[in-house]
């Protein structure tokens, strides 16, 4: 199974990375036309939209996924009921989103406020549900290529539009909003034919019939909200703490580099979750942890490889003296992504077992930890305090459930998990030191790391871990 996970992870992850590579190539061309305020405004608005996005599908992802595994013969029928709920919910959701954006968009962007609100609403109104159901369908069926081609084509289109709007039309931050809105609508349209193919038409049922489904979905929102808090709340708290928008912009730029790594980790998530659930159903616990073990080693080697070159990446790609010195923040964010393999292992199993109450309590605890650390560290360390908080919160979130008996995850090897935690901490310290090393040392380490990753992949193939 490991080779299948790695192969699909590559397919899921390579498209965003190719798009990310294109965007990085465009950085030297677009950064002269952008300011720290542009990055700051876009980061703050995106943070609020991402938070509200936790409510967009009412947590019904768990219903869609579990229906596929628990009821393989009639999951389409359950999906049709979900499809009957979401379009109706879109209207009040758009109203809520519009009200929030109306109040959070700063005075300096007042002239563009109405347009930003409309651009945020259009994808939700027309095509967000198509993308949600369609992408989940291909993911659960382990069909990575349809998602790859969509991500690649639409992502490239958005990158080109960003360049055109920002450079040629001099639209500043508005270029991002226009490009993303158009891209989101186009993505949804690519899934329309699938709904006709599998006869996925909405069924509108009385509320009493769908109440259990909605109750289960809503119970997972605190869990998904914690993911948002870890990803975006730092920028919201910066704004509430009166940190200048330009400083938020510097942080947002450094985070965007780390986000390239996160996009790859999302690809791994799309590939590994269906496999882990399938193995868990068959009581193949050791094989599941074996896959996660190898993935973790690959994660650590890969993130360190990227981190040690961040200084050069910023100097090469960011043609702005006020923005190219924030690479240490990017290192902390990149290394923090190593929490993902064990996080995916724990959450996929807990959601499959519908342990939503435990997930909610855990998520609330992580939320309190994250907000508290941000409030304490932001005044002391500035934007680096937010990066440190993100790192600590991710590690706790990814590993703590294995040490809580109520999680029912005690079957997994705790000693190995502790060693993994120590390995991540050492990877951070090593990267911070190595980023200032000479080119030859970095090249040698990078070649060794790539060789080890290739060895793991080849070994998984020979051991028939597929």
Strands in 205-281 per DSSP E: none
Residue (of 303, 404, 410) closest to 361 by Cα position: 404
Measure the CA angle with vertex 51, ends 304 and 238; round to 5°.
70
Burial class (CB within 10 angstroms; exposed 0-12, middle 13-18, buried 19+) of 314:
buried
User: In angstroms, how far is CA 418 from the centroid of its own chain?
Assistant: 25
Residue (of 37, 33, 39, 36) closest to 167 by Cα position: 33
Residue (of 280, 269, 227) closest to 397 by Cα position: 227
Dihedral sign from CA coordinates of 305, 306, 311, 312: positive
**What per-residue string of b and e applies to 382-402 under the rule 16 or more CB within 10 Å gives b?**
bbbbbbbbbbbbbbbbbbebb
The whole-number pLDDT of residue 190 equals 92
The whole-number pLDDT of residue 465 equals 45
Q: Beta-carbon neighbour count of residue 432 at 10 Å?
A: 15
SS3 450: helix
The whole-number pLDDT of residue 449 equals 92
The whole-number pLDDT of residue 386 equals 84
Q: How far apart are CA 11 and CA 148, in angstroms?
A: 6
Q: Which residues of the chain have pLDDT under 70?
A: 1-25, 27, 229, 232-233, 239, 259-270, 317-325, 405-411, 460-466
Q: How far apart are CA 290 and CA 267, in angstroms?
A: 19
Place of tokens 């349209």: 189
Cα first-last separation, the chain: 3
The domain ranges of the chain are 2-462
The whole-number pLDDT of residue 353 equals 82
The whole-number pLDDT of residue 466 equals 41
The whole-number pLDDT of residue 25 equals 67
Q: How far apart are CA 178 and CA 315, in angstroms?
A: 28
């Amino acid at each position: 199974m490991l080779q299948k996970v790695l192969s699909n992870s590559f397919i899921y992850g390579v498209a965003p990375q190719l798009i990310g590579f294109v965007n990085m190539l465009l950085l030297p061309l677009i950064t002269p036309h952008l300011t720290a305020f542009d990055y700051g405004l876009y980061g703050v608005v995106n943070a609020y939209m991402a938070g509200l996005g936790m409510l967009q599908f009412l947590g019904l992802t768990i219903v869609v996924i579990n229906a596929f595994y628990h009821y393989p013969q009639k999951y389409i029928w359950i999906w049709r009921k979900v499809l009957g709920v979401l379009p109706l919910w879109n209207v009040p959701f758009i109203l809520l989103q519009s009200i929030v954006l109306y109040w959070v968009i700063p005075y300096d962007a007042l002239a563009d406020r109405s347009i930003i609100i409309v651009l945020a609403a259009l994808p939700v109104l027309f095509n967000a549900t198509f993308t949600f159901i369609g992408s989940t369908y291909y993911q659960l069926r382990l069909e990575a290529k349809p998602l790859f081609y969509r991500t690649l084509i639409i992502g490239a289109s958005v990158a080109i539009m960003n360049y055109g709007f920002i450079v040629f039309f001099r639209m500043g931050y508005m270029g991002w909003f226009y490009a993303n809105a158009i891209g989101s609508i186009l993505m949804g349209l690519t899934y329309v034919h699938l709904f006709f193919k599998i006869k996925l038409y909405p069924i509108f049922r009385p509320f009493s019939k769908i109440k259990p489904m909605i109750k289960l979905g809503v119970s997972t929102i605190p869990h998904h909200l914690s993911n948002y808090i870890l990803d975006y709340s730092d920028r919201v708290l910066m704004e509430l703490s009166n940190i200048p928008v330009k400083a938020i912009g510097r942080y947002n730029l450094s985070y965007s580099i780390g986000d390239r790594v996160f996009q790859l980790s999302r690809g791994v998530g799309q590939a590994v979750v269906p496999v882990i659930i399938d193995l868990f159903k068959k009581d193949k616990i050791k094989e599941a942890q074996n896959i996660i073990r190898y993935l973790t080693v690959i994660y650590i080697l890969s993130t360190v490889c990227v981190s040690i070159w961040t200084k050069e990446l910023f100097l090469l790609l960011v043609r702005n003296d006020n923005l190219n010195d924030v690479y240490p923040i990017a290192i902390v964010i990149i290394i923090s992504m190593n929490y993902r393999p064990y996080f995916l292992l724990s959450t996929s199993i807990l959601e499959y077992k519908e342990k939503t109450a435990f997930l909610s309590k855990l998520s609330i605890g992580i939320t309190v930890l994250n907000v508290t650390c941000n409030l304490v560290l932001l005044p002391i360390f500035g934007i680096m305090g937010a990066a440190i908080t993100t790192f600590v919160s991710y590690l706790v979130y990814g590993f703590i459930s294995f040490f809580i008996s109520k999680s029912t995850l005690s079957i997994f090897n705790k000693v190995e998990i502790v060693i993994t935690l120590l390995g991540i901490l050492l990877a951070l310290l090593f990267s911070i030191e190595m980023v200032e090393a000479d080119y030859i040392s970095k090249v040698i380490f990078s070649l060794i790391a790539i060789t080890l990753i290739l060895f793991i992949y080849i070994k998984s193939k020979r051991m028939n871990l597929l």
